[in-house]
């Protein structure tokens, strides 16, 4: 067989296999782009669990007319220029693949206007070469992306979609996690024309607690133990389930430099900190770790669900120490408050 270079659409569809698993993964990629673009407000509209339509509008910096075609091309990004940049990445995106991948497995249109432009433009990619077409449009400063008929041309993937309700639940769940790590952003979520979530911007502790209540429920938010600890370049903040609560709080959110990740290290540290206090197998937590981006590798997985710490042991021990002292303080306080 002769060797051939894959046509762009096919190459993008293959790449899409890694990052575009279901509607929630599209929402994740697109909302992260909004935040990278400096948006303070993001509106999400979903139809039929996202299989019919995912529409995301932001008030970020927009994409200039001349960059629209590039935004839809693979390996085109405004967020990374050299390998050194990758060593210290703070934006969500850097691979320059999401829009190209999503657009190869859906009918995607990108409408955007920058501050410098008096008019907006709409772009979409067509055919196996994914040639980008551009036409004038009406839009305020910012960007709207419409993803219609996800997986219409990849039937194997489409068959794996669950019911609208289940797919929407995945979107809602992902958005909850985002809502906690970016309380400054106003977020709305609609399903089939009906508003389901409205997260108001939260800039004070009190407003944050309201958001935590919306996301994690009243019983977690009202009793949670606050964690706040700095050591050298490491900083941990967030909330731990109260050890007095014996019911399962099914909230296990861990963020590293603002990125939601799955990590066994934190699960382990939480369990160890609780070991003598509570029988629960996995107490609830919302924890945010900040550290020098050079100390963590985020380029481990295309969907960036995982990270690798250069000094994993050190990070683990720091987290454990921070949690243990937060718990000790809370136990001491509740002992003082206990009636005789
Ligand atoms: P990445 O985020 O890895 O750079 P994407 O394919 O997600 O790759 O996006 C490609 C480029 O399109 C981004 O680098 C950015 O310049 C631009 N872009 C995408 N979405 C938006 C948005 N909502 N607002 C402004 N620019 C955007
Ligand atoms: Mg991106």
Whether 24 and 79 map to the same domain: the answer is yes
What's the whole-model pTM score? 0.91
Instruction: Give residue for tokens 């109260």.
Output: 242
Q: In the prediction, which pLDDT does 339 show?
A: 57
Which residue is closest in CA terms to ligand 1's atom 20?
Answer: 33
Which residue is closest in CA terms to ligand 1's atom 19?
Answer: 33
Report yes or no: 237 and 285 within 8 Å, Cβ to Cβ: no
Question: For helices 23-36 and 164-181, what crossing angle results, to 10°?
Answer: 30
Looking at this predicted complex, what is its ipTM?
0.99
- Residue to probe by mutation, ligand 1, list 80, 99, 146, most atoms within 8 Å of CB: 99
Whether 186 and 223 map to the same domain: the answer is no
Report yes or no: 142 and 113 within 8 Å, Cβ to Cβ: yes
Question: For helices 205-216 and 164-181, what crossing angle results, to 10°?
Answer: 160
Cα 271 to Cα 275: distance, rounded to the nearest angstrom: 6
Whether 180 and 224 map to the same domain: the answer is no
Report yes or no: 50 and 23 within 8 Å, Cβ to Cβ: yes
Report yes or no: 211 and 65 within 8 Å, Cβ to Cβ: no
Q: How far is the CA of 72 from the centre of ligand 1 (A)?
A: 8
Domain of 321, CATH number, reads 3.30.230.10
Q: In the prediction, which pLDDT does 302 show?
A: 67
Domain of 85, CATH number, reads 3.30.565.10
Cα 213 to Cα 255: distance, rounded to the nearest angstrom: 18
Tell how strand 186-191 and strand 41-47 pair up. parallel
Whether 179 and 309 map to the same domain: the answer is no
pLDDT tens for the 340 residues of the chain, in order: 899 999 999 999 988 888 899 999 999 999 999 999 999 999 999 999 999 999 999 999 999 999 999 999 988 888 888 888 877 777 888 888 999 999 999 999 999 999 999 999 999 999 889 999 999 999 999 999 999 999 999 999 999 999 999 999 999 999 999 999 999 999 999 999 999 999 999 999 899 999 999 999 998 999 999 999 999 999 999 999 998 887 877 899 999 999 889 888 898 999 999 987 877 778 999 999 999 999 998 877 766 688 899 999 999 999 999 999 999 988 777 766 665 5
Whether 31 and 171 map to the same domain: the answer is yes
Q: How many CA atoms lie within 13 A of 267 on its CB side?
A: 9
Does residue 105 sit within a domain?
yes
Q: Name the residue range of residue 277's domain.
A: 217-335
Report yes or no: 280 and 274 within 8 Å, Cβ to Cβ: yes
């Amino acid at each position: 067989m002769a060797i051939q270079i894959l046509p762009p659409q096919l190459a993008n569809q293959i790449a899409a296999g890694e990052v575009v698993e279901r509607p929630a993964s599209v929402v994740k990629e697109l909302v992260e782009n909004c935040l990278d673009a400096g948006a303070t407000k993001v509106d999400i509209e979903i139809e039929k669990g996202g299989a019919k339509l995912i529409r995301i509008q932001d008030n970020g910096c927009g994409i200039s007319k001349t960059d629209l075609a590039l935004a839809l091309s693979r390996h085109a990004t405004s967020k990374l220029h050299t390998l050194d940049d990758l060593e210290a990445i703070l934006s969500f995106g850097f691979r320059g693949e999401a829009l190209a991948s999503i657009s190869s497995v859906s009918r995607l249109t990108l409408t955007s206007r920058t501050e410098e432009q008096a008019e907006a433009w709409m772009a979409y990619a067509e055919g196996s070469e994914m040639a980008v077409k551009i036409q004038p449009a009406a839009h305020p400063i910012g960007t709207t992306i419409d993803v219609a008929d996800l997986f219409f041309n990849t039937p194997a993937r489409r068959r794996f979609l669950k019911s609208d309700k289940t797919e929407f639940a995945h979107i809602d769940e992902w958005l909850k996690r985002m809502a906690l790590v970016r309380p400054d952003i106003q977020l709305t979520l609609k399903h089939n024309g009906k508003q389901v979530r409205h997260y108001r911007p939260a800039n004070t502790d009190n407003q944050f607690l309201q958001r935590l209540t919306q996301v994690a429920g009243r019983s977690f938010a009202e009793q949670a133990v606050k964690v706040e600890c700095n050591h050298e370049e490491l900083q941990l903040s967030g909330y731990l389930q109260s050890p007095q609560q014996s019911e399962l709080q099914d909230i296990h959110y861990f963020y590293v430099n603002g990125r939601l990740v799955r990590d066994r290290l934190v699960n382990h540290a939480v369990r160890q900190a609780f070991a003598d206090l509570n029988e629960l197998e996995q107490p609830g937590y919302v924890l945010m770790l900040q550290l020098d981006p050079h100390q963590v590798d985020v380029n481990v997985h295309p969907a960036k669900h995982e990270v690798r710490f250069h000094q994993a042991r050190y990070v683990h021990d720091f987290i454990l120490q921070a949690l243990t002292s937060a718990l000790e303080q809370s136990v001491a306080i509740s002992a003082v408050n206990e009636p005789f």
